[in-house]
Amino acid sequence: MSLGIIEVYILLHIKYAGVEYPNMISKISGLPLNEINFSISNLLEKGLIERDEGSSIKRKEARFKKAKEVHKHHSYYRLSRNGKIFVRKMNGAWLKKYFKNLIGGNALDFILSNEKFEDQLIEKMVENKIITKNKRRTKFCNSLAYFISKHIG
C-alpha cells in the first residue's frame, strides 16, 4: 500500500490521539488544512481510518483533550480495524525503509535526532516538508519526530 508522508503522519497522530479532527492535525503539524483534508480522504478510501460517530467525546477516547468530555463541533476520525493492524506493522524497520525509499539516505535519523544529512537530499527533504529551503527543521518535522519516537519507543 502506497502512502504519502502526510498520510503516515496522520496515522501516527490518530493512533496517539485516539480520535482527532483535521483542524487540530493541521494546527499541531503546521501543514495546510487542504493537504490534511486531502490525505484524510485518501486514508478513508484505503479503509485505514473511519469517521467517529456520536455527539461527544470523553478524554479517555481523545487523549489530547483537556476537558473530561467535549461536544463535537467537527468531524472526528479514528483508526479503523485495518488501520490499527497496519499501524502495528509500522515498526522501526518499516519506517527506516519507508523514509529511505521516499527521501533517501539517513532521513529517518535526521528526523528523529537532527543528525547531519547528505546535501543531495535537500531537495527531497524540502519537497516532503522536513526542512525549509534554508535547511531548518519544520514544525511538521518536529511533530513527525514526536509521533515516530512515541511509536517505536
| 61-100 per-position pLDDT tens digit | 545 544 445 544 568 899 999 999 999 999 999 999 999 9
- A 10 A CB-CB count for 20 gives 26
Bridge-partner residues for 58, per DSSP?
Answer: 69
In this prediction, residue 60 has a pLDDT band, given cuts at 50, 70 and 90, of very low
Domain boundaries for CATH 1.10.10.10 within the chain: 5-89
Residue 126: pLDDT above 60?
yes
- Average the pLDDT over 27-36 and give the result: 96
Using alpha carbons only, what angle is made at residue 64 by residues 10 and 71, rounded to the nearest 5 degrees? 100
CATH domain 5-89 topology: Arc Repressor Mutant, subunit A (1.10.10)
Residue 55: pLDDT above 60?
no
Residue partners of 119: CB distance under 8 A and separation at least 6: none
Instruction: Give the mean pLDDT of the chain.
Output: 87
Specify the pTM.
0.88
- Per the model's pLDDT, the better-predicted residue between 69 and 141 turns out to be 141
Q: What is the pLDDT of residue 57?
A: 57
CA 109 centroid distance within chain: 17
Q: What is the pLDDT of residue 70?
A: 56
